[in-house]
Amino acid sequence: MKHTKMAGLCARVALLMPLAACLQGATVTFGNLVAGATSYGFDGDGDTIADVVFSTTDPLGFNTSGPGPFQLYVYQAGLEGTSLLNPDLRVDFLHGATGSIQFGFAVNSQAPGANVFAGFQLFDAGNNLLGSATVLGARFPIPPIQSTFAEGQLSLMFSGRAAYGLFNFSSSSPTGRFFLDNFTGTFGSTESVPEPASGGLLLGGLAALYWGGQRRANRRRAAAVRCHPSTTNGTITMAGRIFPVRATSTKDTPKSNVAGRRRIGRL
């Protein structure tokens, strides 16, 4: 029986372990971006040191006005900047990034085309290219309308540890602007607890729950053993305390048993 319960717990741990790993990613939403700033820092672990830093060479800096509410992949307010440069934006990872990067983007073009896109390149600390991707912007159905501006979602899986990334956005508008939002990845410092420790804590917590339950069950069994009726003097003894037996009719028996169980439960 115990083995069966432990097997059940192990199965639950196995189900929860991937969840713990997933929690180590982070999504940057630029909610506190300051208009006019030329850089934006994301502090994933709360130690006041930015772990992911976005920067532009545009002296006018970023904007926060955004493309409006009718977009699928970009929400007010993301990070807005000029798309007239190449690169338009750079991101640096203080602790490196691993696995994959994903983000939503839009540009101020209403008509999709070959010159409406987002391009992204990732490099390691030795300036070696780890991966790159380009996604054309499109307008998606958002019933009863569709995206106001061409947009898309770029996903890039890669091996190694990325040190920085370069963005190049393109818009068909002469006042080219891009919007970036929901920049998602694993940035090293986003884990407040390292992965193995997370698993250990999870196992420890489940084990404590299991053994706590066993102790409570043992106490209840011990109390039940101490609970034995005296048939000669009309009393019942529970855990050393004596209670009078009021009635012996079959009608009262279930209620008395319930009361007895409630008392045992409070011991």
Binding site for Ca ion (CB under 5 A): 43, 45, 47, 49, 51, 83, 86, 88, 168-169, 189
Strand residue runs (E) in 158-208: 162-170, 177-186
Q: How far is the CB of 181 from Ca ion (least distance, A)?
A: 17
Closer to Ca ion by CB, 25 or 260: give it: 25
Token pair of 195, please?
A: 């992965």
The DSSP string of 220-241 is HHHHHHH-EEETTTTEEEETTE
Q: Return d(Cα 49, Cα 41) in angstroms, integer.
A: 8
Closer to Ca ion by CB, 32 or 233: give it: 32
Q: How far is the CB of 66 from Ca ion (least distance, A)?
A: 18
Helix (H) or strand (E) holding 133: strand 129-136
Closer to Ca ion by CB, 161 or 220: give it: 161
Q: Which residue has the tokens 């339950």?
A: 213
Q: How far is the CB of 67 from Ca ion (least distance, A)?
A: 16
Q: Return d(Cα 158, Cα 102) in angstroms, integer.
A: 11
Q: How far is the CB of 14 from Ca ion (least distance, A)?
A: 31
CA distances from 57 to 11, 28, 81, 177, 251 (A): 52, 20, 10, 14, 87
Q: How far is the CB of 111 from Ca ion (least distance, A)?
A: 18
Closer to Ca ion by CB, 115 or 218: give it: 115
Closer to Ca ion by CB, 80 or 88: give it: 88
CA distances from 133 to 114, 168, 203 (A): 15, 11, 39
